[in-house]
């Protein structure tokens, strides 16, 4: 009841998104490495319950668009560093 996050109570499939949001709150970007993502960059996403792509076409079960229907995180690529 001290206000700290009980990580042992967070399901493994939700940890990457929650870890990314905690890092963002600490001033880091939304896309990055988190403890549970290994060497991959991840970012939180909103669950998409639609069965169509952005153009309104029905998507197949193996389409990349179905990924966001079942996960609250996705892989991401950080922007390139700014040139001086």
Q: Please indicate whether residue 4 or residue 34 has the higher confidence score (pLDDT).
A: 34
Give per-residue pLDDT as tens, 8-67. 999 888 899 999 999 999 998 889 999 999 999 998 887 655 555 566 666 555 545 555
What is the secondary structure of 31-71 as a DSSP string?
Answer: SB--GGGTT--EEE------SB-TTS-B--TTSGGGHHHH-
Asked whether 22 and 43 are in contact (CB, 8 A), the reply is no
pLDDT at 46: 72
For residues 41-51, one letter each, b for 16 or more C-beta atoms within 10 angstroms of the residue's C-beta and e for the rest, the string is: bbbbbeeeeee
**pTM for this model (two decimals):** 0.68
């Amino acid at each position: 009841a001290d206000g700290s996050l009980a990580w042992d109570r967070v399901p493994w499939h939700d940890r990457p998104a929650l870890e990314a949001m905690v890092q963002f709150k600490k001033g880091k970007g939304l896309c990055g490495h988190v403890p549970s993502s290994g060497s991959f960059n991840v970012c939180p996403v909103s669950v998409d319950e639609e069965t169509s792509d952005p153009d309104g076409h029905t998507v197949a079960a193996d389409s990349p668009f179905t990924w966001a229907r079942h996960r609250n995180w996705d892989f991401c690529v950080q922007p390139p560093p700014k040139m001086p």
